[in-house]
Every structure is written in structure tokens, then in C-alpha cells.
Structure 1
Amino acid sequence: PDYVSVKDYVEVLSKGGTFEENKVTPPELAGLLRNDCSRALQLVEAINTSGNTSLMYEVADVKAWAYLGLHLAEKLEGAVALQTFRKQGGEENREKAITHLKAALDNWDRLIEITRPIYKDMPLTHLNGSSHDRNDNNLFHWARIRPAVARDIEIAEQAAF
């Protein structure tokens, strides 16, 4: 697909422009993600994973991917609203951005809730350069980057027109 950036999307719309049919705009992508990820959650909702560890991991993975997608959908909507505020003003645009970014954080928290009990923090060895030594400062889990995800809300709250 030919994706349109948030910046380009807001710029073109602010000038009264439109997009060719082959372009995927941020709101369109957000809608697709929201639909697909919500459907994935519905499909696994009633699956009983008790007594089947392999199935529990598979269902958890589906949920994790779904919440990542829902997070991205809300973040895209928030980014469009924030960029619109930066370009055109309107306190309602800032408030809309904050609302979407808070929803994005809620989805991130659901991701953490699902993955924290079953996934250990993993080393990101590619950040160690040429060293193959373990570096506990380079461990990854979604919970470890939650502060950066939450920071998006602060950025929107502090944005200026």
C-alpha cells in the first residue's frame, strides 16, 4: 500500500485537497487496524486455555498483536488531531489528541497486562554493538518503554499552536 504520513495528510486536507484511491490515509489505516484487531480479540475471547500451555501462549500472542494494533490506531488518530492543532489551532483538536493518546496508553497497558506474566525481559543484543556480552540495560519488555508511550500524552498537553 501507499501510505500517507500524518504530516502530509493534515497538510493536504488543510488546503482542501484529496487523496487518490490507492493512498492509505492515517484515519483509514486506523480504521482497518481497529476493525481487524477488535475482530481478533473477539475470535479468541471464548477460547479456554486452562490446561494447555501452548494454546495459552498462542492466544496471548493474538491478544498482544491485537492490542499493539489498537494502540497504533489510537496513536494515529491522536497524531492527526495533534498535527491539526499545531497547524490550525482549535483546543478541541488538542483535546481530541489527548483523548486518543490516553486510549493508546490504555491499549499499551492491556498489552503489558497480557505479556508481563508470561514473557521475561529479553536482551536486545543488537544494541550492544560488536560485544556479545549480556547487558542488562538493553533488556526489552513492553512495560520498560511505558514511560515513553505515556510521554506522548504530555507532548500533546504541552503542544503550542
Structure 2
Amino acid sequence: MLRLLLAPLRWLFRVVFALLILFEEWGWEPLRRVFALLARLPVIRHAEVLLRRLPPRWAFIVLLLPSLLILPVKLAAVWFVAKGHVVFGVGVIVAAKVGGTALLAWLFQLIQPALMQLAWFARLYARWTAWKAELLGWVRASGVWRTARAIKLRVKRLFRRGRQTPSA
């Protein structure tokens, strides 16, 4: 009986996490590249050199900083929503999520070698990546995903044909 009750919750949990992970997967690399453009600034290049030299424990602390720094911004956004400024509040939350993801992607790229020296982190990271791959496999095997992908490919073909048609 309990299994029957938990099955829909487990499915909902997987869908919500899949959406979050898909956002991260979609946004991680492009946002990292955008942040890399900022890395051309001398102060950012200097910060990168320092970050790459961090010992493992300090690298972990640095990894936590974006979450701690974005928390007050998200709380302010919730306050704006509570005061009736819903669009602004949601905009702040989205901007914080996008900015935080960009910052985290950039940081993680720099400090991952140090983090992997922490045995517990390396184990958790391996489990996380395996679980994430399984979840993304589940999503990509779903009918919704396959249908959306087919629609995307059709739209791409239509746009290509439209560009190839010579103008009169």
C-alpha cells in the first residue's frame, strides 16, 4: 500500500530533479563560456591563478560561497513577491539562478582538481554523476523527450530550408 502511495511522489521527485538538472546541463557550458569572457579582465585572471592554487579544503569553502552569497538575494526576491512585486521578484530569482550557475560553472572548472583530492568529495561526485546520468537517461527515453526532440529537429529543418530558398 505504501509503495502505491510513494510511486507518484517518486515520479514527481524525478521529474522535478530532471528539470533542474536539464536546466543546469543546458546552462552550465554556455554560462561558463560567458563567464570566461569576463576572465579576460586582469583582476579575474589573477583570481583564477589564486583559485587554481587553493588547497582542497579551501577549494570546498570557495565552492560553497556562491550559494551563501545568492541566498540573501533570493530572500529579497521572495520579499518583493510577498509585497506584490511578483514580476520583479521572479526576475530577481531567475537572474540569481542564472548568475549563480555561471559563477559556479566557472569556479568548479577552476577548483575541481583540488576538490577531487578530497576522498569524500570524489566519492560523492562519482555517485552524483552516475545518478545524474541515470536520471537524464530516463528523461531522454521518455516519450515526451523524444517527441520534443523530433519537433525541434523538424523546426530546424524548416528554418534551414527557408534560408536555402533563393529570394526573388
Identify the TM-score tier after normalising by the shorter chain: 0.3 to 0.5
Structure with the higher helix share, 1 or 2:
2
Structure with the higher strand share, 1 or 2:
1
Calculate the TM-score normalised by the size of structure 2. 0.35
Calculate the TM-score normalised by the size of structure 1. 0.36
Task: Find the structure with the greater CA-based Rg.
Answer: 2
